[in-house]
Amino acid sequence: MPTALQLAAGDPALQARVRDCRRLLTRRALVGAAASAVPLPGLDWAVDAALLTRVLPEINARFGLTPQQLAQLPALQRDEVQKAASVVGSVIIGRFVTRELVVQLARTIGVRMTAKQAAKYVPLAGQAAAALMGFAALRYLGEEHIKHCVRVVRETRLALPAPGPVVLELSD
């Protein structure tokens, strides 16, 4: 399976956006890893869900794939993006990211998350293993989402938004 950078090959702007999203993802995954090491039941799940409900829309925004950005596209192009998103199997592109959606996504790595829960109660080594598993799980989910975004942008020839601060509108 190619990486997101490999999928973006030949397009320097798209490759730069992938690197930018990976930096964002790594910073957030480190926060999740720190929470995974704390032996409080459920804390890591809550932190992971909160991180994902924020980082996935930020990644969408950096690729021009938020619901607000898609609403500004001509109807034909919007339909192409939605069709491409369903072909790549993304349930997040062009949608509001909710906790329910994040839980659905997390089911794909459920075994890792369960092992992480058990490991963190073993002093030091278990906590380190839990942190590593938490980091890896968030990075995996984020990297898969970045790949989906790259595929959709390439397939639809969608113009990337100008780089800069991401402003997200939060819904109720």
Q: What is the mean pLDDT of residues 2-15?
A: 94
Between 125-156 and 110-119, two packed helices, what is the crossing angle to 10 degrees?
160
- Pull the structure tokens for residue 39: 């032996």
Under DSSP, is residue 96 helix (H, G, I), strand (E, B) or coil? coil
At 130-157, the pLDDT tens digits run 788 888 888 998 999 999 999 999 999 9
With bands split at pLDDT 50, 70 and 90, how would you rate the model's confidence at 172?
very low
Residue 45: what pLDDT? Answer: 76
Region 3-22: mean pLDDT is 95
**Whole-number pLDDT of residue 156:** 94
pLDDT digits (tens, 9 = 90+) for 33-85: 888 777 777 777 788 888 888 999 999 999 999 999 999 999 999 999 999 98
Work out the end-to-end distance of the chain between its first and last CA atoms, rounded to an integer number of angstroms. Answer: 37
- Residue 28: CB atoms within 10 Å: 23
Report the mean per-residue pLDDT for the chain.
83
> In this model, does residue 22 exceed pLDDT 70?
yes
